[in-house]
Structure 1
Amino acid sequence: MDALRAIVAGTDLRSFARAAAQLGRSQSAVSMQLKKLEQQAGTQLFVRKGRTLVATDAGEALVAYARRIIALNDEAALALGATATTATVRLGLPQDFFEDVMPATLSEYSRLHPGVHVEVQAGPNHVLAEEVRAGRLDAAIAFCPESSSGSGGELIGKLPMRWMAHKSLVFDSRIDRIPLVLFDHPCLFRQSALSALEKAGKRWRVAVTTPSLPGIWAALRSNLGLAVRTEHGMPEGVQCSGEKFGLPKLPAISLKLLRSSNASPAAQDLCNLLEHETIRLVAPG
């Protein structure tokens, strides 16, 4: 079964080195499994084209059977309550959802699959999306531009972006340059803030940049400037301040569920729970 999982991962990732990393094995161990399968099949299963490995006709046939065998194996294990303790599913989330969506999802998932090890990764939206595409994450929630209907993923909802500041922040936007608290580039919220200000002819300056959401909230509580976020998870003392400072309106931002194409049944269960809890807690109706 391990060898079958290796060739499926190698096919999806177009690299057995990346497959080995995803499966937590050495590259030499995965290469030995591939050679053993080729010896048993009596034919070559993969050929190298440039830097990628491509399945031969025999390899494609074996991969198709391998997917079915793995799916049936996982389904049987789940049905019998015999999920291996070494099974791992990988989840990605923006930091916005670590206080509510993550604990709600993991609590229910651990009840359904007590033997599965869950890895949770935080990161920028573009990184989470790439990790799912590469098969290194089974599922992720990510913010996407409102107009990204054709970019893949399942739309969960659309959330309005807001200008935010601590309630005690004071400055005159007619005279002073607007102090901004921004995520590191690239960032959809950063891009939306700067684009809106440029279109409105507003003068601005970067007061703080940070790679983390706690850093954003800390800077706002310190009265260092304004940030653009959704209202979800807005801490005490921080408020929507666009109207107060005469700032331009902002568009909505889409929230999407991204699924890996080769997610196991256990990972699909996690995807479904993640979608349910995100809709319930973040984007109801």
Structure 2
Amino acid sequence: MREFEPDHLRALVAFADTGTLARAAEVVGRTPSAVTAQMQRLEEVAGVALLRPAGRGRELTEAGTRLVAHARTILGAHRAAWASLATIEPEGQVSLGLTQDFTGSPLIDALRAFSGSRPRVRTAFRVGRSAELSEQLAAGDIDVLVAMRQEVRGDEVASFSTPMRWLTPADGVSMLPGAPLPLALLDPPCGFRDAALRALAKAGLDYRIVATGVSLDGVFAAVRAGIGITARLEARSHDGIIAAPVELALPPLPHAEFSIRLRDGAEASAEELAELLRRTFETQLQVVG
């Protein structure tokens, strides 16, 4: 009897959700070539073509669309079965610390893949500032940490860098000609805040801080409202926020460096999560170590 492998079905659903084999690979934590091989094997078992060429990419065939619907049901049953067992005897807990820059996709997709592969491991989140999260890692309250890199640490699994960008409201910021540049920034300590102020001081540009606080959501709300501009990662340019147009002639910003750190003595499941995060960021950002 022919049977569908859950991993192959998971890759098919990831393709349906993301639209490309490359992005599907990021979701399931495999290489694009491995996902392509999974799709080929799935077609062999199904006996029909599931994907077809579409421009420079692929799209689902009618059979592929039908199988996706069944795959969601099958994978849902798998998760329910594991969940029923997980309530009996959990296999430990992994605590993950994150800065506010990494609380969205692709990290959420990576965590979904981790929970699917280790359903009996309980995952806890702590979202905060890099300095306080580092203290919690040292205290043993966090197993894996993704935060801004202040110095080279012996517990780093990987480090990566990505450009900082000036971000502005999509419909422009409200300011008079010659007026100081209005800024929306997190309270100190904040590496993005420090980099922005240093860049403006070096360029001799006047500024005023019009919005501040501990929440990145609050900063972005001020930007969307046209109150000010900010400096963050370009990946945060969405929902009414864009990279600053060149005509604003804003000074260049440095790269932001982040690291993935693993608590000394952490369990194997924490090591697995840290490695999955490393692979995820390697496909999204420039890994520097």
- TM-score clears 0.5: yes
Indicate if the aligned counterparts of 1:217 and 1:235 stay in contact, CA closer than 8 A. Answer: no
Shift of 1:141: 0.9
> Are 1:278 and 2:256 counterparts?
no
> Are 1:214 and 2:217 counterparts?
yes
2:111 and 2:153 mapped to 1: Cα distance? 30
Q: Which amino acid aligns with 1:157?
A: F
2:175 and 2:168 mapped to 1: Cα distance? 14
Which position in structure 2 is the counterpart of 1:41? none
Q: Which amino acid aligns with 1:269?
A: E
Shift of 1:122: 0.5
Decide which of 246, 249, 261 is 2:249's aligned counterpart: 246
Shift of 1:103: 2.1
Which position in structure 1 is the counterpart of 2:127? 122
1:254 and 1:110 mapped to 2: Cα distance? 27
Q: Which amino acid aligns with 2:216?
A: L
2:91 and 2:158 mapped to 1: Cα distance? 32
Decide which of 254, 258, 262 is 1:259's aligned counterpart: 262
> Are 1:95 and 2:100 counterparts?
yes
Aligned-partner SS, 2:246: coil
2:268 and 2:89 mapped to 1: Cα distance? 13
Shift of 1:256: 0.9
Indicate if the aligned counterparts of 1:132 and 1:139 stay in contact, CA closer than 8 A. Answer: yes
Shift of 1:190: 0.5
- Cα distance change on mapping 1:260 and 1:175 into 2, 3 Å: same
After superposition, give the CA deviation of every residue in 1:24-79 in whole Å (9 maximum; x if it has no partner): xxxxxxxxxxxxxxxxxxxxxxxxxxxxxxxxxxxxxxxxxxxxxxxxxxxxxxxx
Indicate if the aligned counterparts of 1:104 and 1:277 stay in contact, CA closer than 8 A. Answer: no
Q: Which amino acid aligns with 1:112?
A: S
- What is the alpha-carbon root mean square deviation over aligned residues? 2.6
Shift of 1:105: 2.2
Shift of 1:135: 1.4
Percentage of identical aligned residues = 29
1:141 and 1:209 mapped to 2: Cα distance? 23
After superposition, give the CA deviation of every residue in 1:85-140 in whole Å (9 maximum; x if it has no partner): 16111001122222213321221111221111110110111122222222110001
2:195 and 2:224 mapped to 1: Cα distance? 22
- Cα distance change on mapping 1:87 and 1:127 into 2, 3 Å: same
Indicate if the aligned counterparts of 2:158 and 2:261 stay in contact, CA closer than 8 A. Answer: no
Indicate if the aligned counterparts of 2:157 and 2:275 stay in contact, CA closer than 8 A. Answer: no
Decide which of 174, 180, 183 is 1:180's aligned counterpart: 183
Shift of 1:218: 1.1
Indicate if the aligned counterparts of 1:172 and 1:245 stay in contact, CA closer than 8 A. Answer: no
Indicate if the aligned counterparts of 1:232 and 1:282 stay in contact, CA closer than 8 A. Answer: no
Unaligned 5+ segments in structure 2 are 1-85
Shift of 1:181: 0.2
Aligned-partner SS, 1:194: helix
> Are 1:163 and 2:166 counterparts?
yes
Shift of 1:244: 2.7
**Equivalent residue pairs, number:** 203
Which position in structure 2 is the counterpart of 1:223? 226
> Are 1:106 and 2:111 counterparts?
yes
Shift of 1:172: 6.2
Q: Which runs of 4+ in 1 moved over 3 A?
A: 148-152, 170-174, 281-285
2:169 and 2:106 mapped to 1: Cα distance? 25
> Are 1:197 and 2:179 counterparts?
no
- Cα distance change on mapping 1:103 and 1:181 into 2, 3 Å: same
Unaligned 5+ segments in structure 1 are 1-80
2:204 and 2:235 mapped to 1: Cα distance? 28
Shift of 1:213: 1.8
- Cα distance change on mapping 1:150 and 1:284 into 2, 3 Å: closer
2:173 and 2:216 mapped to 1: Cα distance? 22
Shift of 1:200: 1.4
After superposition, give the CA deviation of every residue in 1:192-213 in whole Å (9 maximum; x if it has no partner): 1111111211111110002122
Indicate if the aligned counterparts of 1:169 and 1:225 stay in contact, CA closer than 8 A. Answer: no
